[in-house]
Structure 1
Amino acid sequence: MKKRIVLSLITAFTILLSGCSTDKPNSASTNEPQKETKVDQPEGTGEKALEPVELTYYFPNSPQKDLQTVEDAVNKLIQPKINATVRLKLIDWGTYEEKMKVVLGSGEPFDLAWTSTGLNNYYQNVANGSFAPLNELIDKYAPETKKGIPDMFLNALKVKGEVYGIPVFQQSTAGYGFEIQKSVADKYKLDWKSVTKLSDLTPFLETVKKNEPNLIPWEYAQNLDPFLTAPPMFGLETLGDAKTPGDLYLNDATKVINQYETPEFKEYITMMRDWYTKGYLRKEAPTLKETTADRKAGKNALTLGQIDIDSQAYEAAGLEFTGRMSNFNKDVHSYDMQFVKPLLTTDKAAATITAISANSPNKERAMMLLNLLNTDKEIYNTLVWGVEGKHYKKVADNRIEGLPEGGYQIFAPWEFGNMTLSYLADGDPIGGEVDNKFIDMWVDLNKNAIPSNALGFVFDFTPVKTEKANVDAVIDELYYAISSGSIDPEKYLPQFLDKLKNAGTDTILAEKQKQLDEWKAANK
């Protein structure tokens, strides 16, 4: 995921790592920007139907001092097309989850919100009735958007045949590995290309700890937790969402298991306990929700990477690549190494989504705005990168360079619309803008990625809403302390598993197994 924080990322990675999918033009997808569609009025209605409206749009990112300038610029582009303006309600990554719980729980009438399979959980919110069904709205007001997104992405969002959000078409194939500062790897002659699993990084972290007191050996935050962010790294894939008990092994698509009871989890938290006690992570690691400030300051020597195309692949393609760390600080270059091959899973196809609130008073106009974000290059790039000359400067036909003092740098082209519209920027391979080469690379990668055994399966949380809420409370209480290594897993893992069981894990596992079996039977 380019500019990914978490996520992916975000991930805040997000990932914030974060952290944090097209193919050649056909009826399902395209790697060319869609033609701009001007919507003068809703189909089948009179001129009066397009009275001016103001839309409210919630999304997470780090605070931006010049957000108002971007909002004004976006509205100058949107208003003539759909007679609407938008209020950009940017919420800090660390508080977005709680803020949206309050907003959604209160019934506040807003229009659009960013959601995902993790943060502001899409499937849970659908089960709660928080998001509006969109099938008819998409067909009527966003057919161009639908053409630009492969069917498998939209299918991943379906709950009982209905779509409740528009997925961001982005670099979605879930390859995983790590990023290491180039200066560190070169200085100590670290053999970063030889890494095949997380534990292979231990000697690298020890070298950094002994010799680089101003660097954090391993970046960790809640949105960068490897076990939740990168299940395939442990031979697992997510069913429903990353936190809720109930995964599949990649080599066994039949049996739903509690991932927290696996030997892979025990091995991981034992390793993290070792890393934490040796000082490879920040002491505050278990409570950190994201690490954007550390990334911008270049403080992390190594970090988890959701990596679709790595440094070696770019080199083989003849492209110069400064690494994903340079997305946040152009002076910090990294080697990015993938050791888990790309896999397209339902949670990655649905990793970043824009939903329309069930309480929106302007659902049709909100869908028109989503259509513009997916088809109009100027509107998309204004929201993503800001105003030319103030927040970025053009350095090539389809490449920009950010202006850090401009007051708007969200590093999140994956958060809105269709990422094939995006300018290339710091951290993207140099030369990749020529003949659309870079976009073609990730589009083809998404097309040819190995599909998961349960691609298209979507878990309906409705029958276990109570159990999920109880399980989530247990996870919030203990998981990150255990997974960051800040508490002894020998003592606390049994307590964690007991609390999960008492909260309703067995009921959730049984329901996931039932729904998976039914899905398999219906898709033979």
Structure 2
Amino acid sequence: MKRVLLAIAALALVLSAAACAPGAPTGAPSDQSAATGQPEKVIMTYLHGGAPPADMQLVVDAINRRIRDRINAEIEYYPLPIFEAFTGKYHVLLSSGERIDLMVIPFQNIVPYVDAGLLNPLDELLAQHAPTIMALSQEFPILQTATVRGEVYGVAPVNATYGVQTGFIVNKDWVTEFQIPEKEIYTLDEMGELFGAVKAKYPDMYPVCVNPNILFLPPFPIDSLGASASSGVLIGLESTQIVNLWASQEYEDFVLKMREWYEAGYIPPDAATTTATLAEQTNAGVCAAYPMVMEPVQTTTTKASSGFESVGMPTSINYYPSLSPNGSANWSVPITAKSPEAAVKFLDLMYADHELANMLLWGIEGKHFVKTDVEQVIAFPEGVNGQNSGYYVTYGLYGDRRYEYQWDVRATRRFTDEYTAANMKNPTKAVGYMFDPTGYTNQIIAIDAVVNKYNVALLTGSVADVRGTLEKMNAELKAAGIDEVIAANQAQFDAWLASR
């Protein structure tokens, strides 16, 4: 960007720099009326890690050259640090009348925005201007997490993968050394036998890494019904009975097993409090296995990334639960939009034009990335890396993510489509349902506080008296109102089941 601006007069340089300041639109095209035949302006949020990329305007210009004649629109970025999207910044901007035509709400429930009257309903706009999105919505749940009381207020990206399979990432050398047979699913007892063999031979090592942000995942299907476990879960694929997870026999059995592992020295004693990342722990040789969702890109690691080559050892079946509103991003049209129709046309093009989506994500081919001989896999140009690139923000927020360029072949469709297909063969009974927590906010906040107080210690095996702690935890959950919230969830779910 600087090389371009050096050729511009000093006044233009100052104006351009001001336009690119965080919290203000980048100022690419002027505001033109569609009635004049000039492109309509679409101001869209662009989330970054803390400072806008240096080449942001170059990418915007390239995008506009691609889309201008196709939808008679041009975009401007409204750059924002991603953390501001979680701290009420959107509410402040929209309440003050700030113009934003297209806004991405990342990984949070959209209901508070709807209840505050900050978003436009999208049903008619999508029906008129978004044929690609409407077609994809018949196959993928991209409207589910932003449908509130029967109206659509946002569109999620098509995920690269759907569904869940839990398990462990394990040092590949251990599998060879201890002659572990390849299986589709390993029981926790079988995993414990492996960790016991490792501990016996390498007594100074803790076989299983964990930290409070990446906890052990139970080896049985759980569906939080489009919300969180604080409002109840289904356990198993066939159940329609919503239960308190922390009062279930399945959860008790699981945390008792974790306590057994902790006492045997398989889990580090500071597992519930450590601030060390998994990569830091594995590279330091503290351990060489950790729990993880078994997505293809995660099931094998290299020595460069984790200190060892690894394999995935699944402990659950593949299954497909309902989506949580906190597990996705949603593109919405705020009430301050001046070009809602153009915004939705651009949004639809984001899903239809995979090259466009990759430009939004990775920038300009040849400058910010290069294609490799492996389909869908990219690399940095010579002399460029993640630190000095003028456009390297890795938030996957755009369009149909199955077509994203990847830096690792294991994240390409060659692997991810097979994983999704396996998961979707085993749906829970709540796929397509989402609990509406309106009226229960205070109870859920209180329930979350109790869960945060006990859950990490239980899941890491750090609690000596497991049953006594569970009894105390569940008494506090009852006092916080978990039974009332679950009853409301069950009533909504029963009505939803009856309507199908």
Q: Is the pair's TM-score, using the shorter chain for normalization, greater than 0.5? A: yes
Where does residue 224 of structure 1 map in the other structure? 214
Q: What letter matches 1:269 in structure 2? A: V
Where does residue 85 of structure 1 map in the other structure? 76
Where does residue 173 of structure 2 map in the other structure? 183
Distance in structure 2 (CA, Å) of the matches to 1:271 and 1:516 = 32
Which range moved further: 104-113 or 339-348? 104-113
Where does residue 442 of structure 2 map in the other structure? 466
Distance in structure 2 (CA, Å) of the matches to 1:280 and 1:269 = 14
Which residue of 452, 458, 473 maps to 1:482?
Answer: 458
Distance in structure 1 (CA, Å) of the matches to 2:115 and 2:239 = 25
Q: What letter matches 1:474 in structure 2? A: V
**For the structure 1 residues 286 and 148, does the alpha-carbon distance in structure 2 shift closer, same or farther, using more than 3 Å as the test?**
same
**For the structure 1 residues 459 and 206, does the alpha-carbon distance in structure 2 shift closer, same or farther, using more than 3 Å as the test?**
same
1:274 aligns with 2:260: yes
**For the structure 1 residues 418 and 99, does the alpha-carbon distance in structure 2 shift closer, same or farther, using more than 3 Å as the test?**
closer
Report the CA distance between 1:498 and its aligned residue: 1.8
Aligned partners of 1:132 and 1:357 also within 8 Å: yes
Report the CA distance between 1:265 and its aligned residue: 1.0
Aligned partners of 2:103 and 2:334 also within 8 Å: no
Give CA deviations for 1:194-235 in whole Å, capped at 9, x if unaligned: 7523343223334455656897633434453344xx6xx324
Matched residue count: 449
Using structure 2 for the length normalisation, give the TM-score.
0.74
In the TM superposition, 1:61-210 aligns within 5 A as 63=49, 68-69=53-54, 71-80=56-65, 81=67, 82-91=73-82, 96=83, 100-103=86-89, 106=92, 111-116=102-107, 120-122=108-110, 132-151=120-139, 153-154=141-142, 156-157=144-145, 158-170=147-159, 171-191=161-181, 193=183, 195-209=185-199
Report the CA distance between 1:505 and its aligned residue: 0.7
Aligned to 2:231, the other structure's residue is in SS state coil
Aligned to 1:335, the other structure's residue is in SS state strand
Where does residue 251 of structure 2 map in the other structure? 265
Where does residue 250 of structure 1 map in the other structure? 236
**For the structure 1 residues 210 and 354, does the alpha-carbon distance in structure 2 shift closer, same or farther, using more than 3 Å as the test?**
farther
Aligned partners of 2:206 and 2:266 also within 8 Å: yes
**For the structure 1 residues 123 and 250, does the alpha-carbon distance in structure 2 shift closer, same or farther, using more than 3 Å as the test?**
farther
Q: What letter matches 1:246 in structure 2? A: G
Aligned partners of 1:239 and 1:248 also within 8 Å: yes
Q: What letter matches 1:261 in structure 2? A: A
Aligned partners of 2:288 and 2:308 also within 8 Å: no
Aligned to 1:254, the other structure's residue is in SS state coil
Which residue of 236, 240, 250 maps to 2:222?
Answer: 236
Aligned partners of 1:112 and 1:355 also within 8 Å: yes
Report the CA distance between 1:164 and its aligned residue: 2.7
Aligned partners of 2:165 and 2:318 also within 8 Å: yes
Q: What letter matches 2:135 in structure 1? A: K
Distance in structure 2 (CA, Å) of the matches to 1:384 and 1:100 = 20
**For the structure 1 residues 367 and 51, does the alpha-carbon distance in structure 2 shift closer, same or farther, using more than 3 Å as the test?**
closer
Report the CA distance between 1:329 and its aligned residue: 2.9
Aligned to 1:381, the other structure's residue is in SS state helix
1:376 aligns with 2:361: no
Using structure 1 for the length normalisation, give the TM-score.
0.71
Which residue of 285, 300, 305 maps to 1:329?
Answer: 305
Unmatched tracts of structure 1, length 5 or more:
1-39, 310-320
Where does residue 7 of structure 2 map in the other structure? none
Aligned partners of 2:142 and 2:155 also within 8 Å: yes
Give CA deviations for 1:104-126 in whole Å, capped at 9, x if unaligned: 5646556523434xxx2345665
Report the CA distance between 1:129 and its aligned residue: 5.7
Q: What letter matches 1:198 in structure 2? A: L
Where does residue 14 of structure 1 map in the other structure? none
Report the CA distance between 1:132 and its aligned residue: 4.5
Which residue of 472, 477, 481 maps to 1:500?
Answer: 477
Where does residue 3 of structure 1 map in the other structure? none
**For the structure 1 residues 148 and 215, does the alpha-carbon distance in structure 2 shift closer, same or farther, using more than 3 Å as the test?**
farther
Q: Over alpha carbons, which structure has the higher Rg?
A: 2
Aligned to 1:344, the other structure's residue is in SS state coil
Report the CA distance between 1:335 and its aligned residue: 1.5
Aligned partners of 1:245 and 1:508 also within 8 Å: yes
Distance in structure 1 (CA, Å) of the matches to 2:452 and 2:116 = 20
Q: What letter matches 1:304 in structure 2? A: P
Aligned partners of 2:170 and 2:288 also within 8 Å: yes
Where does residue 24 of structure 2 map in the other structure? none
